[in-house]
């Protein structure tokens, strides 16, 4: 019974925190954007393991891989002898996190916030956990704040008719998954002041060629994983799913690295700014 209560207390304590960790010397990072943030803060020497979505910066893949972020292994993680496990709210399964806490290792969740200010807040939160606030403020002021400000300025000057954009996941074969309400893709589209043409859909959903033609987005963004998918996405305009859209006819399809686009780490700010600028350019009709 005591065990049950202890476990319950640990699971209940799984909220988000930006408190300094007791010992942040050896960090197992469960989240691609968090890995990116550790490199951004110059704390990469403390990383002892990453998971499979950590692809940036390229040297991050040299750390031991803990597998997929939702299917972590308690013993595997402990074998890296971390002093701190840092993850986002998708880290799991919860039973494994409870096992890791019981072995005396700190597990800290960082809240994922899908907006420009959210990215800054996430960087500040990680910095607070590591005790690097001052260095972080300098880095944010130099590199992230100007981008966030530029995004805000673009939003203020945007024309009232927002560009109609579809954000797709996956490659050109078969029915692509579209980003609906509540997805990270929807968060990105709000960040760049675009209208999500699939805003009435909930979650990531497969969409037929006909539905795509009816909705007819002016611009299509594709999140790809790895260079092979990026290349495949280049020919997406010819795919049956997209061929009939205005975006395909005008060649307004862009494929971007999935983590840069939807990871909501520091990179997502620059990616969003770049897309927002492209969308603001006058289109040749």
Maximum Cα–Cα distance for the chain, whole Å?
70
Residue 172 vs 183, nearer CB to other proteins: 183
Interface characters, 3-42, with other proteins (x: CB under 8 A) = xxx-xx--xx------------------------------
The correct pick among 203, 208, 249, 277 for binding other proteins (CB under 8 A) is: 203
Minimum distance from residue 99 beta carbon to other proteins (Å): 5
Residue 76 vs 128, nearer CB to other proteins: 76
Minimum distance from residue 229 beta carbon to other proteins (Å): 17
Residue 80 vs 145, nearer CB to other proteins: 80
How many CA atoms lie less than 13 Å away from 32 in the CB half-sphere? 22
The correct pick among 53, 55, 99, 245 for binding other proteins (CB under 8 A) is: 99
Structure tokens that stand for 213 in this block: 């033609």
DSSP letter assigned to residue 60 = G
Please provide the DSSP assignment of 142-164 as one string. Answer: IIIHHHHHHHHHHHHH--SS--E
Region label for 108, one of left (φ > 0), alpha (ψ between -120 and 50) or beta (otherwise): beta
Interface characters, 162-201, with other proteins (x: CB under 8 A) = --------------------xx------------------
Minimum distance from residue 66 beta carbon to other proteins (Å): 5
Q: How far is CA 51 from CA 76, 185, 260, 266, in A?
A: 12, 21, 16, 18
DSSP letter assigned to residue 218 = S
Q: Is the dihedral of CA 97, 98, 103, 104 positive or negative?
A: positive
The correct pick among 18, 44, 83, 92 for binding other proteins (CB under 8 A) is: 92
Contact 55, 165 (CB under 8 A): no
Minimum distance from residue 256 beta carbon to other proteins (Å): 18
Smallest CA-to-CA distance from 21 within 105, 119, 124, 138 is with 105
The correct pick among 23, 61, 65, 173 for binding other proteins (CB under 8 A) is: 65
Contact 218, 248 (CB under 8 A): no
Minimum distance from residue 123 beta carbon to other proteins (Å): 23
- Does 208 bind other proteins (CB under 8 A)? Our answer is no
Q: How far is residue 186's CA from residue 191's CA, in Å, rounded to a whole number?
A: 9
- Does 141 bind other proteins (CB under 8 A)? Our answer is no
Q: Is 44 exposed, middle or buried (0-12, 13-18, 19+ CB in 10 A)?
A: middle
Residue 5 vs 142, nearer CB to other proteins: 5
Residue 81 vs 117, nearer CB to other proteins: 81
- Contacts with other proteins, residue ranges (CB under 8 A): 3-5, 7-8, 11-12, 49, 52, 64-68, 70-71, 73-81, 90, 92-96, 98-99, 102-104, 182-183, 203-205
């Amino acid at each position: 019974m005591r065990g049950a209560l202890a476990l319950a207390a640990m699971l209940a304590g799984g909220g988000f925190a930006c408190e300094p960790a007791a010992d942040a010397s050896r960090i197992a990072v469960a989240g691609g954007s968090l890995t990116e943030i550790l490199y951004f803060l110059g704390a990469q020497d403390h990383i002892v393991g990453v998971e499979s979505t950590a692809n940036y910066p390229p040297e991050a893949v040299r750390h031991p891989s803990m597998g997929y972020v939702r299917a972590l292994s308690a013993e595997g993680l402990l074998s890296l002898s971390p002093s701190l496990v840092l993850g986002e709210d998708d880290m799991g399964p919860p039973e494994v996190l409870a096992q890791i806490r019981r072995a005396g290792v700190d597990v800290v969740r960082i809240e994922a916030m899908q907006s420009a200010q959210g990215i800054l807040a996430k960087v500040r939160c990680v910095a607070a956990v590591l005790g690097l606030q001052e260095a972080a403020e300098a880095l944010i002021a130099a590199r992230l704040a100007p981008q966030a400000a530029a995004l805000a300025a673009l939003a203020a000057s945007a024309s009232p008719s927002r560009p109609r954009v579809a954000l797709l996941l996956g490659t050109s074969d078969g029915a692509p998954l579209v980003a609906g309400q509540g997805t990270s893709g929807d968060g990105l589209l709000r960040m760049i002041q675009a209208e999500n043409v699939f805003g009435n859909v909930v979650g990531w959903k497969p969409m037929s060629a006909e539905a795509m033609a009816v909705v007819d987005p002016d611009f299509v963004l594709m999140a790809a994983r790895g260079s092979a998918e990026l290349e495949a996405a280049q020919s997406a305009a010819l795919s049956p799913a997209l061929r009939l859209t205005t975006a395909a006819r005008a060649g307004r399809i862009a494929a971007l690295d999935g983590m840069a686009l939807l990871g909501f780490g520091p990179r997502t700010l620059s990616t969003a700014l770049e897309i927002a600028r492209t969308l603001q350019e006058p289109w040749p009709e």
